[in-house]
Chain A
């Protein structure tokens, strides 16, 4: 088993890496858009917390291949169902951390902000949100790493990306493609993890905590 395929077709591997990254990033973008209202609602109303997190946990429990299969009769194959599946799987990580971050803010801190005459919106924008942000970004990091891995399965429904190399490797009995695909996906996931760790450390609150 070797990386021959990578050295013989670097431009194709690069193209597929780009496709993989775009698919994953686009899914994350939609996932975050959905997770913010869901997370805010679950954090705000205690009665919603368990049902929302339970439902998102159940979605994550459904095997990826089954999830894609459920969508084929109505949505067919390709990028759209892949994006929907990836965005759905990411929800549990995003919403769980958003709830933990928003709820984790010390009550005394909020009280102090209100005592200074801040309005409800100002308390959210200037106190609660910045304090929750590192935890929320940690959720994005976990979700993104998981999405990059899951996106390899999406090649099965012709959504492109590096999973294509894995499936080609199996059907053509070409281990070099499998290894190339596996290494590229893993590298992409590690890179995303490192970049988001950096973002986590560079939030205003994380910098302030280090300075203190």
Chain B
């Protein structure tokens, strides 16, 4: 408890440094996640729609998932050097697999009867996709984004090792300088942040679940 108070005092004494680290951490995570959604959602759609490319896409994604986050962050060193840029690229790649896998699974899992009814109503393929398939698949897609977000926040902490700053910076300095206060100045906020994001995306997931779907799942 005493240590926690000391860490809090450190934050009060160095408000700019702390705010800067939080801001870097948040921006790095948010931009990476946004980039990953833009790139990997279409890939998931492609996998769900084309039986020919699906095994390749899902196979590559499954294999990529096995490479540890720390290795992905470090492997870009020869090309992108150290700093925020390689961290952004690595985090975007790390966020990919859950988005692709869940988008594919969500879209594939849509009841064919729902699609049939849509077609029967005279919907165009685009309407069918955006008004029937995506809404029905959305809870599972959001669950994928949730896993991706948690992965990104955690790996953004590791990005301190490649000089990207963020809250991980306090943790790594804490060990190097043998300063337990610093360890907690980094660890406590980043743990809270991860739990907060996970919790709020859980709520989003429940909110976007269509009422009919929630009923049939609850039963």
A and B pair up: yes
Q: Contact at A62–B74, with CB atoms within 8 Å?
A: no
Q: Contact at A149–B69, with CB atoms within 8 Å?
A: yes
Q: Contact at A153–B70, with CB atoms within 8 Å?
A: yes
CA distance in complex: A67, B158 (Å): 12
User: Which listed residue (A1, A149, A157, A169) contacts B66, Cβ 8 A?
Assistant: A149
Q: Contact at B154–A175, with CB atoms within 8 Å?
A: no
User: Which listed residue (B67, B150, B187, B194) contacts A69, Cβ 8 A?
Assistant: B187
Q: Contact at B190–A63, with CB atoms within 8 Å?
A: yes
Within the complex, what minimum Cβ distance (angstroms) separates A27 from chain B? 15
Q: Which B residues are in CB contact (< 8 Å) with A152?
A: 68, 70-71
Q: Which chain B residues in 154-194 approach chain A with CB under 8 Å?
A: 154-155, 157-158, 160-162, 168, 171-172, 174-175, 180, 183-184, 186-188, 190-191, 194
Residues of B within 8 A of A (CB-CB), count: 37
**Residue A102 lies at the interface, judged by CB distance under 8 Å to chain B:** no
Within the complex, what minimum Cβ distance (angstroms) separates B97 from chain A? 12
**Residue B51 lies at the interface, judged by CB distance under 8 Å to chain A:** no
**Residue B153 lies at the interface, judged by CB distance under 8 Å to chain A:** yes
Q: Which B residues are in CB contact (< 8 Å) with A182?
A: 67-68, 71, 74-75
Instruction: Give the tally of cross-chain contacts (CB within 8 A).
Output: 121
Q: Contact at A61–B75, with CB atoms within 8 Å?
A: no
CA distance in complex: A1, B75 (Å): 9
**Residue B78 lies at the interface, judged by CB distance under 8 Å to chain A:** yes
Q: Which chain A residues in 74-98 approach chain B with CB under 8 Å?
A: 77
Q: Which A residues are in CB contact (< 8 Å) with B161?
A: 156, 167, 170
**Residue B3 lies at the interface, judged by CB distance under 8 Å to chain A:** yes
Q: Which A residues are in CB contact (< 8 Å) with B60?
A: none
CA distance in complex: A69, B187 (Å): 6
Within the complex, what minimum Cβ distance (angstroms) separates B110 from chain A? 23
User: Contacts A167-B161, A178-B74, A181-B71 given: A61-B184 contact, CB under 8 Å?
Assistant: no
Q: Contact at A185–B78, with CB atoms within 8 Å?
A: no
Q: Contact at A185–B71, with CB atoms within 8 Å?
A: yes
Q: Which chain A residues in 17-50 approach chain B with CB under 8 Å?
A: none
Q: Which B residues are in CB contact (< 8 Å) with A57?
A: 198
Chain A residue with the shortest CB-CB distance to B70: A152
Q: Contact at A63–B153, with CB atoms within 8 Å?
A: yes
Within the complex, what minimum Cβ distance (angstroms) separates A141 from chain B? 12
User: Which listed residue (A66, A150, A186) contacts B191, Cβ 8 A?
Assistant: A66
Majority SS of interface residues in chain B? helix
CA distance in complex: A58, B199 (Å): 9
Within the complex, what minimum Cβ distance (angstroms) separates A90 from chain B? 15
Q: Contact at B67–A193, with CB atoms within 8 Å?
A: no
Q: Contact at B69–A65, with CB atoms within 8 Å?
A: no
Q: Which B residues are in CB contact (< 8 Å) with A70?
A: 183-184, 187, 191
Q: Contact at A145–B75, with CB atoms within 8 Å?
A: no
User: Which listed residue (B3, B66, B77, B158) contacts A65, Cβ 8 A?
Assistant: B158
Q: Which B residues are in CB contact (< 8 Å) with A137?
A: none
Q: Which chain A residues in 141-184 approach chain B with CB under 8 Å?
A: 145, 148-150, 152-153, 156-157, 163, 166-167, 169-170, 173, 175, 178-179, 181-182
Q: Contact at A178–B75, with CB atoms within 8 Å?
A: yes
Q: Which A residues are in CB contact (< 8 Å) with B34?
A: none
CA distance in complex: A157, B171 (Å): 12
**Residue B195 lies at the interface, judged by CB distance under 8 Å to chain A:** yes
User: Contacts A152-B70, A185-B71 given: A69-B183 contact, CB under 8 Å?
Assistant: yes
